[in-house]
Amino acid sequence: MPQKPNCPFFMVLMWIAVIVLSLNCSTGIVESPDPGIVKVTLRANAADTLIIITGDTLITVDGDSYHVKIYQGKAYTQDSIFAILYQNTSEYYEVEHNYNLLKRENGIYKEYTIFESFLPPDNYGKIRFGMIAYFLLLTRGYAYGGIGIPMETPPGTSPFIEFPINFTIEENRITEIKLEIKPLQSVVRYKDIFHFVANMEVISVGSPY
């Protein structure tokens, strides 16, 4: 009479085989890396405080204003793939933001965070954004009656500014790009019109800590 197989022992062998096969199989799914953050700040140059308007030499003071609009920021990888930059990490759609470049805090021009956005880890080679200046108010002009100067982008030129700059985004780390503008030197008079021609530069790239 044939002997019946030992069922418990047979089941144990089957489970061992299943475990071994599972360990040797790949699902083909690769986990995406966590994003990093790029932070872009903008501040007016502390030494840019003087402008000549119709023969008057004017120095900026508290209460003056220089209004600009910044929008449509993008960061480009070395392979020219772009990612949208948002003003803060809670934004999920593009919004225009306005800033007063002559606003002061503790006696110095205020530094603004114009972008703070998640980016995939990669090597990047450029940032780009639109910037329009539309009004300069100097309260000490014309014997303290104040001077208001509307500004515009020169005809035939783009309001978008590009900075070729190499930076790396790493997982769960912040990379900070500091920009500086000379706002008064960016005002160019043409006949009776004042044009905004941005005089800006990158002053540092790295960790904010």
Beta-strand relationship, 36-44 and 174-181: parallel
Residue type, 192: D
Tell me, what's the pLDDT at 144?
59
What is the 8-class DSSP label of residue 159?
S
In a domain, 7, yes or no: no
Is 99 part of a structural domain of the chain? yes
Measure CA 164 to chain center.
13
Q: Domain for residue 8, yes or no?
A: no
**pTM for this predicted structure:** 0.82
Provide the pLDDT for residue 20: 47
In a domain, 9, yes or no: no
10 found inside a domain: no
In a domain, 165, yes or no: yes
Q: Work out the burial of residue 85: count CB atoms within 10 Å of its CB; fewer than 13 is exposed, 13-18 middle, 19 or more buried.
A: buried
Tell how far CA 53 is from the center of its chain.
33
What per-residue confidence (pLDDT) applies to 140? Answer: 75
For 142-159, b/e burial (b = at least 16 CB within 10 A) is eeeeebebebebeeeeeb
What spatial distance separates the first Cα and last Cα of the chain, rounded to whole Å?
A: 81
State how beta strands 160-169 and 82-85 pair. Answer: unpaired
- Give the span between the Cα atoms of 202 and 45, in whole angstroms: 12
Domain that holds residue 181: 36-206
Residue 29, in any domain of the structure: no
Whether the CA torsion 130, 134, 140, 141 is positive or negative: it is positive
Tens digits of residue pLDDT in 28-66: 566 788 999 999 999 999 999 999 887 788 889 888 999
Specify the pLDDT at position 203: 97
The total number of structural domains in the chain stands at: 1
CB atoms within 10 A of CB 41: 18
Q: For position 6, what pLDDT does the model report?
A: 53
Q: pLDDT tens per residue, the chain (209 residues)?
A: 445 545 555 454 455 554 544 455 555 566 788 999 999 999 999 999 999 887 788 889 888 999 999 999 999 999 999 999 999 999 989 999 999 999 999 889 999 999 999 999 999 999 999 999 999 999 876 555 678 889 999 999 999 999 999 999 999 999 999 999 999 999 999 888 999 999 999 999 998 77
Give the Cα separation of 186 and 65 in Å (integer): 14
Cα–Cα distance between 100 and 127 in angstroms, integer?
A: 22
